[in-house]
Amino acid sequence: MKKKLYFSVLLTALAAVLTACHDDETYAEQKEKEAKAINAFLQRDVVIRSAEGDTLRHIGRIKVIQESQFLAQDSTTDLEENQYVVFKNSGVYMQIVRRGVGERILPGQSKQVLTRFLEYNILGDSLQLRDEVPYWATDEGIMDVVNVSGSISATWNTTYHSGGAMYTAYNETKVPDGWKVPLNYIRIGRQNSEEGIALVRLIVPHSQGHQNATKGVYPCFYEISYQQTRD
């Protein structure tokens, strides 16, 4: 627990340094820098590596499609073309790698959803956080998700262990808005094999991210799996 507390303090301190570095920039200038970083990310052949230099993910060059094409494709993204749909209202880009099995969370329903993720700071061009390592193996991030009349809300469940990597790192019970976008399109069930677990890749601008991203005005790339917890 002490190590996790230190980890949280370290990330908070890093955010404070980044914010201080931005003090001489206007918010408009920071948003412009963010937009340029996202555009560059979309156009280059991105490879995410660990601190040791090992390749963790090969993102490749992204082909952006509009919502109209996404809907015409039955709310799917073509993996062979490396498609990501951009949602104009939020600025979030999404690729559905696996839809998952089970059912969508419909209006009036609630579920506990277990997540695993990788977080990459696009502006800083660096791996920032990942819970797919032994350190977090017994401390999953679990979201309490509720669909109220088509509007999805989600908070981190802190009943289990420390609440998971995202809660521990950023000390915020609210799930980033960008993380909720896929829940409108993927299926949430309980699977015994990886093939059945929903998996998405996201580009999340600061306005849809956690509080550190919002304060620092930086976008993040995520790969996230979603599955229902055991009853």
What pLDDT score was predicted for residue 231? Answer: 61
Q: Show Cβ contacts of residue 21 under 8 Å, excluding neighbours closer than 6 positions.
A: none
**Distance (Å, whole) CA 67 – CA 228:** 27
Nearest-CA neighbor of 188 among 99, 62, 108?
A: 99
What pLDDT score was predicted for residue 195? Answer: 76
- DSSP character string of 123-150: TTTEEEEE--SGGGTTS-EEEEEEEETT
The token pair that represents 16 in the structure block:
């404070």
Per-domain residue ranges of the chain: 2-228
What pLDDT score was predicted for residue 5? Answer: 45
Of the chain, the end-to-end C-alpha distance in Å amounts to 27
Question: Kind and range of the H or E element at 34?
Answer: helix 27-43
What pLDDT score was predicted for residue 191? Answer: 73
| β-bridge pairing 198-204 and 55-60 | unpaired
Q: Which amino acid does the sequence have at 44?
A: R
Nearest-CA neighbor of 204 among 192, 186, 218, 215?
A: 218
Query: pTM of this prediction?
Result: 0.89
What pLDDT score was predicted for residue 219? Answer: 98
What pLDDT score was predicted for residue 194? Answer: 74
Kindly list the averaged pLDDT for each block of 10 residues, start to end, along the chain of length 231.
Answer: 48 53 83 98 96 94 98 98 98 97 94 96 96 90 96 94 92 97 94 83 98 98 94 61
CB 87 within 8 A of CB 94: yes
What pLDDT score was predicted for residue 71? Answer: 98
The token pair that represents 225 in the structure block:
């799996």
Arch. (CATH architecture) of 2-228: Roll (3.10)
